[in-house]
Structure 1
Amino acid sequence: MSIFKKIITAVRGGATEAGEAIVDANSTRIFEQEIRDSEKHITIAKRDLTEVMAKQMQAARELAQLQASIKEHEGYAMQALNQSNEALAIEVAEKIAELETTAAEQQQANESFLKSADRLKELIKKSERQLTEYKRQLTMVKTTESVQKATSAITDNFTASNSKLLNAKDSLERIKKKQAMFDDKLKAAEQLESETPEQTLKNKLQEAGIGEQQNSAQSVLDRLKNK
């Protein structure tokens, strides 16, 4: 295959993919339009059926008239024969033959109209049943799409909310760390203050029992016993 043909094939392939993508993106809309088109065709078919049925009724009526005319002329022929008027009888017989030919043609037309009407009725019933099923499927498809869109929106919102929650958690941890750092600084300052040389010496003298001692319940009790 030449390079040019390969390019043409690639372009055609890309066009096919693009066309399929468009069809997939608008599949529900296309399906709904096809249902509307089918409804129009059924309406047209019903109109055609009405015309066929009307023609069949007309053919049946004309056939009945021909059959009545044949029967009537048969009576005329019998009367002519009874009168030994064979020439008149032959003339009437020719008329009967003509009427019978027309009646046979009308009978065929009547049967053809009946068959066409029955076939159209069956096709219309089948099409209407199928159309009803398609409408039900369309409702289900639309409902499914709505649920999927809602689910997608919920998922997107949850993802966004989860991200915001994670950000809030990070902010809270930063606040807690900052507050803990502040408390640690206070404790460190108190510790440094307690560790000054003067305070440290005072603490050591008190531990050794030298110098001014803090009053305690036990020291008060001992003093009272000595008295």
Structure 2
Amino acid sequence: MFNSILTLIRGRAYDAEQAFIDRNAVPLLAQQIREAASAIQSARRAVAIAVAQNEQEKIQHAAIVARISDLENRAVAALQKDGDELARQAAEAIAQLEAERHASEKAQAQFTQTIGKLKATVRASETRLQQLRRGERLARATEQTQKLNAACDDNSGLATLDEAEETLARLQAYQNRCEVAALAMKEMNAASRPEIVIEKLANAGFGAPLGSSADDVLARLRERMNSAA
């Protein structure tokens, strides 16, 4: 029984831990990406240091090779003039330099191999980091969308989109009714004014016209022209 209780407690603790991780997955992912980016930057620096060390090793190797060649020439000159003791000293120095040359060549080979592996690791890591960053942006967009959906579904908080659309439709209908009523009121006010009624009667041909028409003006002009003639 006691073991079962312990197992249940561990199970609930695990469930709580997983639920906490799920709720904070986006900030957790962002932090993990930042740490991964920092590690990749450190790897880049390691590659740069390895390349610099390899270049320095190449310079030292070239100097060793030059010294060996110089000592060999001098040793041959010493042997030609019976300078056996000096030639032996030169040979010993050459042997030491050849050991250094061999060690330098070995170090260069190791540097080249290490640099190749580091560069491949950095390239692969950078590709994975780019994919993670794209995934993070998508996850954030999805989270914001889910929050918006949750807010719209919460009847105790924001109004739903359907309710807002219905409110807008009612508002537009009310405004249209107000415009129609205002236009009708304007027409009724105009129809009740005496001057408007007189103008309508005159335009219909009932009674004297209120103003001169184009035909009246032309007739008057012709009459003036005929009188002048």
Pick aligned residue for 2:119 from 118, 121, 128: 121
TM-score by length of 1: 0.66
* Compared CA separation, residues 7 and 155, structure 1 to 2 (3 A): closer
Gaps of 5+ in 2: 168-229
> Residue 105 of structure 1: SS of its match in structure 2?
helix
> Residue 6 of structure 1: SS of its match in structure 2?
helix
Q: What letter matches 2:142 in structure 1?
A: T
Question: Which segment drifts farther, 134-143 or 108-117?
Answer: 108-117
Give the drift of 1:161: 4.3
Query: For residues 15 and 21 of structure 2, what CA distance do their matches in structure 1 show?
Result: 10
Could you say which residue in structure 1 is the equivalent of 2:41?
Answer: 43
Query: For residues 70 and 159 of structure 1, what CA distance do their matches in structure 2 show?
Result: 86
**Aligned residue pair count:** 162
Pick aligned residue for 1:136 from 134, 137, 145: 134
Give the drift of 1:148: 2.1
Within-5 A mapping of 1:150-161: 150-156=148-154, 157-158=159-160, 161=163
Could you say which residue in structure 2 is the equivalent of 1:85?
Answer: 83
Question: Which segment drifts farther, 104-113 or 14-23?
Answer: 104-113
Q: What letter matches 2:16 in structure 1?
A: A
The CA RMSD measured in Å over matched residues stands at 2.2
Could you say which residue in structure 2 is the equivalent of 1:63?
Answer: 61
Question: Which segment drifts farther, 150-159 or 122-131?
Answer: 150-159
Pick aligned residue for 1:109 from 107, 110, 117: 107
Could you say which residue in structure 1 is the equivalent of 2:9?
Answer: 11
Comparing both chains, which one has the higher relative contact order based on Cα–Cα distances under 8 Å and sequence gaps of 6 or more? 1
CA deviation map 1:132-170 (0-9, x unaligned): 1111111111112222222232333339949x99xxxxx
Could you say which residue in structure 1 is the equivalent of 2:218?
Answer: none
Query: For residues 48 and 19 of structure 2, what CA distance do their matches in structure 1 show?
Result: 42
TM-score by length of 2: 0.65
The percentage of counterpart residues that share the same residue type is: 29
CA deviation map 1:73-130 (0-9, x unaligned): 1111111122132232222111111100011111111221222222111111111111
Query: For residues 24 and 155 of structure 1, what CA distance do their matches in structure 2 show?
Result: 21
Gaps of 5+ in 1: 166-227
Query: For residues 131 and 94 of structure 1, what CA distance do their matches in structure 2 show?
Result: 54
